[in-house]
Amino acid sequence: MKKFIPLSIPNFEGNEKKYVNEALDQGWVSTGGAYITKLEQEMANFLHVHNVAACQSGTSAIHLSLIEAGVKPGNIVLVPPLTFIAAVNPVKYQYATPVFIDCDDSLCMDSVKLCEFCETQCKWDGEFLRFKGEILKAIVVVHVFGNMANMESIMDTANRYNLKVIEDATEALGTYYTEGRFAGKYAGTIGDFGAYSGNKIITTGGGGAVTANDPEMVDHIRFLSTQAKTNPHYYIHDEIGYNYRMTNLQAAIGVAQMEKLSEFIRRKQKNFELYKAEFEGFKYGALMPFREGINSNKWFYSFNINRNHIKASMKEIIVALEEKGIQTRAIWGLINEQKPYVNEFIYNLEKAPYYADRILNIPSSTQITREEIIYVANEVKKLLRSLANG
Ligand SMILES: *Cc1c(COP(=O)(O)O)cnc(C)c1O
């Protein structure tokens, strides 16, 4: 049998089938049902927050957060260039204008450049910061691959300039600070809003969730996600709503996945250490570390190819590893270079293009075995040695 080690596959070792069958047997398959409420409660308990609204995707979670943050057409929203495009598209759904701020070596937003942008490129009007005359309303901060952005510094800037912070914690469910002002705080619970995805370290097949530091805003988000229906008996609506609610079938899977989340994180952390040991001292690349002072969920592993020695294209590397039965992927293309975004403002992008050309994501499923990790590391090293010049 040919070996195949996937990049990232879901893990259904728990009660998923049992709960889905229960939901089916009870006939609760749509956007009402006990599993939805249960998932919201489980997530709120896990994150130590008061209120979580389950919704249809991480993307809709970000969109609802932007709406609740009051982002209006023409407003400026600061966003990262090196991430999944779903973090930025909802800015466009609101007809707002993204401005791309560079990342730092954590691959998350560079908090120094963020502050610098606000101080040198914008004007304070007494209530809002303005960029080219337009109100700067919000920042979308992505906690990339389960790492954590420098939230202390980002929150300082946001508070100084009256900016709403939407934490895109889709990749970082379970990551929390162990040190500093936010010690004990989970990714997504520090800013004004936190968005999660049912398509990452836990899966619901498709789904998401939102929390906010104001529990009433979460209630309002839940209301917006169910077509803004104001009355249980009549079709009366006083706002534009959305069909963004999670279904009970998805939530049934989600409840089972939440039971396993701590176990998934333990495995991800252990596997990261295995990879780290295998790549120790390797000349042609290194495993990207996670930030100090946090307990990361270590959702996705990034291998940083040493471009001083390796000139081969990402495609060449990916195809060669595929032939060895190893599925890998290049990090995202820069969002500011994607067709719908080529005319948007960018601010001093250096690290984002640098890492865009270097990061290879390597297999990270919770089911991966020790032997498979050693095999992957050896094949990556063998390949890069063979491609190296000098
Ligand atoms: C996955 C992801 C999203 C979107 O989540 P979906 O549940 O797939 O809609 C948004 N932002 C980032 C950074 C992501 O990785």
Cα of 87 from ligand 1 centre, angstroms:
7
- Assess whether pLDDT exceeds 90 at residue 2: no
Report the residue among 8, 107, 170, 253 best suited for mutation to probe ligand 1: largest number of ligand atoms under 8 A from its CB.
170
Question: What would the pLDDT profile of 260-293 be if each residue is shown by its tens digit?
Answer: 999 999 999 999 999 999 999 999 999 999 999 9
pLDDT attached to residue 3: 84
pLDDT attached to residue 344: 98
Please work out whether the CB of residue 83 comes within 6 Å of at least one atom of ligand 1: yes
Say if residue 25 is in the same domain as residue 76.
yes
Say if residue 178 is in the same domain as residue 281.
no
- Assess whether pLDDT exceeds 80 at residue 343: yes
Cα of 203 from ligand 1 centre, angstroms:
12
pLDDT attached to residue 1: 52
C-alpha 330/C-alpha 358 separation (Å) is 8
Cα of 184 from ligand 1 centre, angstroms:
24
Domain that includes residue 367, residue range? 261-387
Contact between 271 and 373 (Cβ < 8 Å): yes
Please work out whether the CB of residue 199 comes within 6 Å of at least one atom of ligand 1: yes
In angstroms, the Cα distances linking 218 to 212, 251, 345, 353 are 6, 18, 31, 36
Please work out whether the CB of residue 86 comes within 6 Å of at least one atom of ligand 1: yes
Predicted confidence band at 390 (pLDDT cuts at 50, 70, 90)? low
Q: 171: which residues sit within 8 A by CB, 6+ positions away?
A: 142, 143, 144, 145, 146, 197, 200, 201, 299, 300
Cα of 214 from ligand 1 centre, angstroms:
23
C-alpha 115/C-alpha 160 separation (Å) is 10
Angle, CA of 385, 329 and 148, to the nearest 5°: 105
- Per the structure block, which two tokens stand in for 354? 């640098």
Q: Is residue 61 part of a domain?
A: yes
Mean pLDDT score across all residues of the chain: 97
Question: What would the pLDDT profile of 95-104 be if each residue is shown by its tens digit?
Answer: 999 999 999 9
Say if residue 213 is in the same domain as residue 325.
no
The DSSP line for 27-82 is T--SS-SHHHHHHHHHHHHHHT-S-EEEES-HHHHHHHHHHHTT--TT-EEEE-SS
Q: Is residue 141 part of a domain?
A: yes
Please work out whether the CB of residue 254 comes within 6 Å of at least one atom of ligand 1: no
C-alpha 333/C-alpha 171 separation (Å) is 17
From the alpha carbon of 197, which atom of ligand 1 is closest?
7
pLDDT attached to residue 19: 98
Task: Report the number of distinct structural domains present in the chain.
Answer: 2
C-alpha 33/C-alpha 28 separation (Å) is 6
Amino acid, single-letter form, for residue 147: N
Say if residue 63 is in the same domain as residue 200.
yes
Cα of 371 from ligand 1 centre, angstroms:
30
- Assess whether pLDDT exceeds 90 at residue 188: yes
Question: What would the pLDDT profile of 49-94 be if each residue is shown by its tens digit?
Answer: 999 999 999 999 999 999 999 999 999 999 999 999 999 999 999 9
C-alpha 210/C-alpha 193 separation (Å) is 7
DSSP 8-state class, residue 135: E
Question: What would the pLDDT profile of 144-162 be if each residue is shown by its tens digit?
Answer: 999 999 999 999 999 999 9
Q: Is residue 7 part of a domain?
A: no
Please work out whether the CB of residue 211 comes within 6 Å of at least one atom of ligand 1: no
Please work out whether the CB of residue 172 comes within 6 Å of at least one atom of ligand 1: no
- pTM score > 0.75 for this model? yes
Three-class secondary structure of residue 198 per DSSP? strand
Q: What is the CATH number of the domain that holds 123?
A: 3.40.640.10
Q: What is the CATH number of the domain that holds 355?
A: 3.90.1150.10
